[in-house]
Amino acid sequence: MRAFLSEFLKWFLIINTGIMVIVWINIFKYDTIWTAIIPQIFGASFLTSLVTAAYFSYNPRKPISVPVRILLTIAHYLILCVIIMTLGTRFNWFELTLQGGLAVTLSVAGVYIISAVISYMLSKGEADEMTDALKKYKEED
């Protein structure tokens, strides 16, 4: 449970950052921003982080083949799109039209890419630290 909470917090921060970047980019279309959007963004970050933490916490006993991993990633993306479309409709972020649906899928893709880049940078930093620590350990022997 502790590992899941840690994973959830990590993804919450990463996804919230991605959502804020996408909102910042989209905000130029509007003259004003309403203050109610801040808790709405946190709510969207919370729900999508729960799904993402569950997705990345799933650790099967056998390695997953590449086609299955691709299908799981597509399913994860589609679930995130459904969550954001549902919240977006509820919070009046967009109209439920083809154009609104396309905007959501592109926005979710943008957050997905931003999150992947941030996650990669964090993982690479951790891997580099572990490699350096291992090198120092081997040098001491």
| Spans of all domains in the chain | 2-140
Average pLDDT over residues 78-102: 90
pLDDT score recorded for residue 46: 95
Residue type, 139: E
94 secondary structure, DSSP code = S
pLDDT attached to residue 92: 86
pTM score, two decimals?
0.80
pLDDT, mean over the chain? 87
- Over range 89-108, report the average pLDDT: 88
pLDDT, tens digit, for every residue of 28-41? 777 667 778 889 99
User: Which pLDDT value is given to residue 141?
Assistant: 67
Integer-rounded Cα Rg, in Å, for the chain is: 18
Please choose, from the candidates 13, 14, 29, the residue with its C-alpha nearest in 3D space to the C-alpha of residue 103: 29
Please give the average per-residue pLDDT across 36-47, as a whole number. 91
Q: Would you say 8 and 49 are in contact if contact means Cβ atoms under 8 Å apart?
A: yes
Provide CB contacts within 8 A for 76, sequence distance 6+. 51, 52, 55
Query: What CA–CA distance (Å, rounded) separates 87 from 82?
Result: 9
Q: Which of 122, 137, 141 is nearest to 6 (CA)?
A: 122
pLDDT at 32: 67
